[in-house]
Amino acid sequence: MQQTVPYKSTQTQVIVNGFIRSVYNWMAIGLALTGFAAFYVAGNETLVNLIFSNQIIFFGLIIGELALVFSISARINKIKASTATSLFIIYSILNGITLSSILFIYTMSSIASTFFICALTFGICSIYGMVTKKDLTGIGQFMFMGLIGIIVASVVNLFIGSSGLSMIISYLGVFIFVGLTAYDTQQLKRMALAQPANLDAATIRKGAILGALTLYLDFINMFLFLLHILGVSRD
């Protein structure tokens, strides 16, 4: 009996590490695809004119992205693992296409420096969420309510056009996604711990894709808010 407990503990840790590693691998793939798509579009004048000179196409891409996020999140248990993977890849590429606009707004040096600051901040928050023994559920719920608040404030600011309010939203946005990153990482750890040892590979893959999408969204949003604060305009 004394040897069983350490064995089970080691086996559980292997399962958790494997799942979390898969989540981060897919998140990294998603970010790489987004970056590649953004640079490819930005370097193609024909695509730039096609996408950003036609509001129907641009907003069609935005709607398509939202539809993909909803499809993955809401239907993850009903779709195949290969389908979930394909949808995540398509979403990452579409997001890169729409985000290519920031390459024309901010200098490359400020984009690069902001990306590394975001990566460092994200990494610290994610590690904290992984190792802390504190239950972050309350923090996660509070941050989610804050997220709803900044979405509403952002919509209002579309009509007001206040640069001051926009900057406040950006600072709050960074704060909120710092908290959500830690919370979401802890939830992924709990998901991994709750997985049965005999769970099939397809179900594990779907869970990893969903987790990757969650952390990908945390990273991208944190990066965009930081870029609004730290980014240097080309003008």
- Closest-CA residue to 95 (of 159, 142, 46, 31): 31
Q: Would you report the helix, strand and coil content of the chain in percent, each value rounded to 5? A: 85, 0, 15
How far apart, in whole angstroms, are the C-alpha atoms of residue 228 and residue 214?
Answer: 22
CA angle 224, 227, 232 (to 5 degrees): 150
Write down the residue that tokens 């292997």 correspond to.
14
Domain boundaries, the chain: 4-230
- Closest-CA residue to 42 (of 92, 102, 95): 102
Output the pLDDT for position 1. Answer: 44
**Cβ atoms of 218 and 122 closer than 8 Å:** yes
- Closest-CA residue to 188 (of 142, 125, 118, 144): 125
Write down the residue that tokens 């945390």 correspond to.
218
Write down the residue that tokens 């309350």 correspond to.
138
CA angle 212, 185, 151 (to 5 degrees): 75
How far apart, in whole angstroms, are the C-alpha atoms of residue 187 and residue 199?
Answer: 18
Point out the residues of the chain with pLDDT beneath 70: 1-12, 196-198
CA Rg, the chain, in Å?
19
Output the pLDDT for position 37. Answer: 96
- Closest-CA residue to 75 (of 60, 64, 87): 87
* pLDDT tens per residue, range 172-196: 999 999 999 999 999 998 888 877 6
- Closest-CA residue to 197 (of 23, 2, 16, 3): 16
Query: Is the pTM value of this prediction over 0.85?
Result: yes
